[in-house]
Structure 1
Amino acid sequence: MRLVQVTDTHLHADPGARSRTGFPLRQLHTVLEHARTKRPDVLLVTGDVSQDETLKSYEHAQQAFASMGCPWFWLPGNHDQPELMAEHRELNVEVDLGHWRLLLLDTRVNGQPHGELGQAKLKALAEQLEGDDRPTMLVMHHPPVAIGSEWMDAIGLHDREALWQTLAAYGQVRAILCGHIHQAFASRESLAEGEVAVFGCPSTTDQFLGGSPHFAVDEASRPGYRVVDFHGGELTTWIERVDL
């Protein structure tokens, strides 16, 4: 089973709109063309699909993701409007991959750049984990760990400690995928029931400079995506960069 993650496409209603360093829709198509050569079984889109929060931007996204020829799923980021997304595609909370399952968490806080789950969503997550002990990957937009960039850490998942406290009792959670950070990232959190790997992903558009205390674009880095291969109860993953 192979999964491809793309994130932070930041599309506009205008298909020719520019970002800071390029053209988001054009770059998305180039990234997806490259990703198709990996023959994924599932495409996962981890938020900030739109930049201008328009229905037309989600139409561009839906057409692009459908071109992959495999099932695809998305969740909202801080720039998104879930109601508009749902007009084009259902917002799933769980994806069954057979031996594995994905739980998609909405960390969006209306009108704010940071993320939060809150008690109700954490309680629902615990109930989902109680009901199924298969190897599980959580998927969210905001990173649940500090990534070493002061400005980005300030707008990450604000209640991440509460998330880790919730996960402490559930050893079936093996990994977390996130978006938001516009860069490759990997770390591990040690819990009583085992380690949880945390993976960030490059954007299909602008890249952020890792380790910078202030907002900065990494103009030397290329767009990319993440590939995840599931092998029984284990996984391997890597980043692919795409020349424009």
Structure 2
Amino acid sequence: MRLIQITDAHLYADKQARSRAGVPWRHLQRVLQAVIMEQPDLVVFSGDISQDETATSYTLAYEAMSQLPCPWVWLAGNHDQPALMLETHPLHEEVALPPWRMLLLHTQVEGEPHGELGQEALASLSAKLKGDERPTLIVMHHPPVDVGAAWMDAIGLQDRDAFWDILSAHPQVKVILFGHAHQAYAQHHRVGEHDVAVYGCPAISDQFMPGAKHFMIDEASRPGYRIVDLKDQQWDTWIERVTV
């Protein structure tokens, strides 16, 4: 089972609109061309699809994603409008990836750059994990860990302690994928008596400078995507970059 993560396109209604370091629509096209060559079984778009939060930006995203030869799912980031997304394409909470399953968590706090799950979503996550021992991969927009850039760490998942407390009782959770940080990340997070692999992904749009104290663009880096090959209880994962 080959899963590919893409993230943080920050599209505008205008295909020619520029971000700080390029044209998001052009970047998305190049990334998807490369993704198609990887022959994925599923693509997950982990938030910040839009920058201007317009219905047209989601229509453009749908137009681009329709090129894929496989199913795809998306979730909202802090810049997104979930209602507009839902009008364009479903918002899934769970996807079967036999023998794995993938849970998609909504971490958006309306009007805020940081993320939270909240008590209701945390309770729902706990309930979903109880009694289901399938190896589980979680996708969320906001990082549930510090990535090492002070300004980004301040706007990550705010209720991460409660999140990790739930996971401590569920060793079937093997992998977490996140967006938002606009950079590659890979660490094993110790929780309870087991480790969880936590991975970040390069953005489709601008890349952020790793380790920066303040907001800074990494102009030397390139857009990319993450490949995750799922096996029975194991996985392989790596980052690929594209030239735009």
- With normalisation by structure 1, the TM-score equals 0.99
What is the aligned partner in structure 2 of residue 212 from structure 1? 212
SS class of match (1:232): coil
Identity %: 55
What is the aligned partner in structure 2 of residue 153 from structure 1? 153
Answer with 78-87 or 183-192: which moved more: 183-192
- Give the deviation of 1:22 after TM superposition: 0.4
What is the aligned partner in structure 2 of residue 135 from structure 1? 135
1:20-169 equivalences under 5 Å are: 20-169=20-169
Distance (Å, rounded) in 1 between the aligned partners of 2:231 and 2:101: 13
Q: Which amino acid aligns with 1:141?
A: H
Moved over 4 A (4+): none
SS class of match (1:127): helix
Distance (Å, rounded) in 1 between the aligned partners of 2:158 and 2:126: 19
Distance (Å, rounded) in 1 between the aligned partners of 2:131 and 2:18: 45
SS class of match (1:114): coil
Any idea what the Cα deviations from partners look like across 1:14-66, whole Å, max 9, x if unmatched? 11110001000111000110111110000000000000000000000011111
Distance (Å, rounded) in 2 between the aligned partners of 1:192 and 1:140: 21
Distance (Å, rounded) in 1 between the aligned partners of 2:71 and 2:36: 13
Distance (Å, rounded) in 1 between the aligned partners of 2:2 and 2:152: 29
Is the contact made by 1:22 and 1:205 (CA closer than 8 Å) also made in structure 2? yes
Is the contact made by 1:115 and 1:158 (CA closer than 8 Å) also made in structure 2? yes
SS class of match (1:85): helix
What is the aligned partner in structure 1 of residue 235 from structure 2? 235
Any idea what the Cα deviations from partners look like across 1:116-174, whole Å, max 9, x if unmatched? 01111010000000131100001000000001110000000011111000111001000
Q: Which amino acid aligns with 2:141?
A: H
- Give the deviation of 1:231 after TM superposition: 1.2
What is the aligned partner in structure 1 of residue 7 from structure 2? 7
- With normalisation by structure 2, the TM-score equals 0.99
Q: Which amino acid aligns with 1:94?
A: E
Q: Gapped runs of 5+ residues in structure 2?
A: none
SS class of match (1:227): strand
- Give the deviation of 1:187 after TM superposition: 1.1
- Give the deviation of 1:205 after TM superposition: 1.0
Q: Which amino acid aligns with 1:212?
A: A
Q: Which amino acid aligns with 1:128?
A: K
Aligned length: 244
Distance (Å, rounded) in 2 between the aligned partners of 1:49 and 1:18: 15
The alignment yields a C-alpha RMSD, in angstroms, of: 0.6
